[in-house]
Amino acid sequence: MTSQNKHWIYENVRAVHLEASTLCNSICPWCPRYNNFSPNLNPNIVEEYYTLKRFKDHFPKDFIKQINFWTFAGDYGDPCTCPQFISILKHITDIRPDTNIQINTNGGMKGPTFWHELGNLFKHNHNRYVIFSVDGLEDTNHIYRRNVNWNKVSNNMKCYSHTGAKGIWEYLKFKHNEHQLEEAKEQANELGFEIRFKNPNGFEGGPMPARDKDYNIEYEMFPATGREINEIPQRSVDFINLINTDTLDYADYKDRVESLYEDKSGCITCAANHTLGGGNEIRINCDGAVWPCSFFGHLSKKYLKNRIVGRIQQWQMEDVFKDVKNNLNEMSLKEILDNDPFRPVYERWEGNKILECYDVCGPKPIMEKIYEGASNGR
C-alpha cells in the first residue's frame, strides 16, 4: 500500500490533540465524564494521567520536532490536573521551541506557582495560550461549573495574566449568567484576555438538569435569550421510531438504521485530514488510544444510555474499529499509523456511511456555529 492511498500518514502528522488527564475538579452536568448529568463518574472512565516518562515513551523526539500544534483539551478530564503537566510542556518546547500550544481548562486547580510557571513558559509566543472556560462571575460560574471555587479561578487567571502570556476567556451563555456579559468583558479587558461567548449544547428536548448522586434534579439551566430549547432533531426521532428503546441491542443496530443512510447527499470533508497546510491531525486519549480526530476520541467512552443517536454512533464506531489495533501502550505511533488504522473510516466516507463524520464534517453538519462574538484584550 502506497502512502498516496492513505489518509493519515505518520510523517505528515502536524497536529496532536492529547488528553493529558482524566482527572477533574469540576462536575459539569453536560460533561461525558459523568453519568446522566450527575456527579457519578462515567463507568467507562479510568482516572489516570500522562507522566513525563510515558509521554517520552509515546512521542519520540523526531516526532515532536515535526508537530506544529499541540492541543491539550480532554473530554474526560482537565489537562491542568496532570501532576507533571509543566514538565511535559517544557519537554515539548525544549525540543521544538517554536511549536504552538493550546490548553483548555476550567482554571480551578493548582495555585500561583503553577500558573506563573505556565505563563512564563508561554509569554514569548502568542501562539501558545490558555483558554479558560469560565461561565459567569462569582455568583454564577459554579451553577454550570459545579464544584469550581470562584476565588481560586479568579486568582489563577490573574497569576497567569501577570506574566504577559496570552489568555482567552471562553464564556458559556445561559439565562442565569447573560446579565453579566458586559461585566465579564470589563474583567477580561483588565486581565488582557480576549473573551468569547459561546452557546452550550444540552438543550435538546428540555432544560439542562443538574442531578445529585441519586439522579434527582437539584435545579435546571435554560438557554440565554434568543436561544430556544431545541426540539429533538428529526434524525433522532427517526432513530427512536426505528428502534425499540427497551430492547436496543448492539448486535442488530446496523440493519435497523441502514435506511437512514439513503437520504444523505453531498460529501465529507475531513478537517483533521486537511489541517496545517495539508498535514494530518490525530487525537490521543489518555488511555493511549489513537483516533482520527477529537470527535472519535470523545465518542470512544461516551456513556449515552439516554441519548439514542449518540448510542448508535458509538456502536458504529465500536463496530468499525473492532479489529483495529490503535493503542500506544501496545504499539508505537508509527507502527499504528503505518498499519492504516483509519481506513475503515475514510473508505465509508463515500455514501456518508460514518454518522459521526457526516454530522461534524458533512455537507450540512448538525454542529452549528456557536460562537457569537469576541472581544480582544492584550
* pLDDT, tens digit, 9 for 90 and up, residues 300-346: 776 554 455 566 677 778 878 888 899 999 999 999 999 999 888 88
End-to-end CA distance of the chain: 49
Cα-based torsion angle of the residue sequence 357, 361, 363, 368 in order, rounded to the nearest 10 degrees: 110
Provide, for the chain, the percentages of residues in helix, strand and coil under a 3-state DSSP scheme, each rounded to the nearest 5. 35, 20, 45
- Whether residue 320 contacts residue 330, with contact meaning beta carbons closer than 8 Å, is answered with no
pLDDT for 226 equals 84
Q: Of residues 364 and 301, which shows the higher confidence score?
A: 301
Report pLDDT for 247.
Answer: 52
State the pLDDT at residue 3.
46
Distance CA 52, CA 16 (A): 16
What is the SS3 assignment for 64?
helix
Q: Please spell the DSSP secondary structure of 244-311, one letter per residue.
A: -GGG--GGGHHHHHGGGGTT--S----STTSBTTTBEEEEE-TTSBEESSHHHHHHTT---TT-HHHH
- Give per-residue pLDDT as tens, 229-246: 765 555 555 655 555 545
pLDDT score of 80:
98
Q: What is the pLDDT of residue 204?
A: 73
Higher pLDDT pick, 359 / 366? 359
Residue given cell 509521554 in the structure block: 55
What rounded mean pLDDT belongs to the chain?
85
| Among the ranges given (180-184, 302-306, 316-320, 373-377), the one the predictor scored with the smallest mean pLDDT | 373-377
Residue 260, pLDDT > 60, answer: no
- Judged against a pLDDT cut of 90, whether residue 353 lies above it is answered with no
Give the pLDDT confidence score for residue 10 in this predicted structure.
94
pLDDT of 100 = 96
pTM over 0.85: yes
The predicted model gives 51-64 an average pLDDT of: 98
**Residue 280 predicted with pLDDT over 80:** yes
Q: Does 75 score more than 80 pLDDT? A: yes
pLDDT category, 18, cuts 50, 70, 90? very high
Q: What is the pLDDT of residues 125-167, one digit of tens each?
A: 999 999 999 999 999 999 999 999 999 999 999 999 999 999 9
| The pLDDT of residue 263 | 53
pLDDT of residue 296: 84
Between 234 and 80, whose confidence is greater? 80
Q: How confident is the model at residue 221 (pLDDT cuts 50, 70, 90)?
A: very high
Whether 357 shows a pLDDT value over 50: the answer reads: yes
Give the integer Cα–Cα distance in Å for 148 and 125. Answer: 29
Residue range 236-264: average pLDDT?
55
What separation in angstroms does the CA of 216 have from each of 27, 129, 209, 223, 269?
15, 38, 9, 21, 42
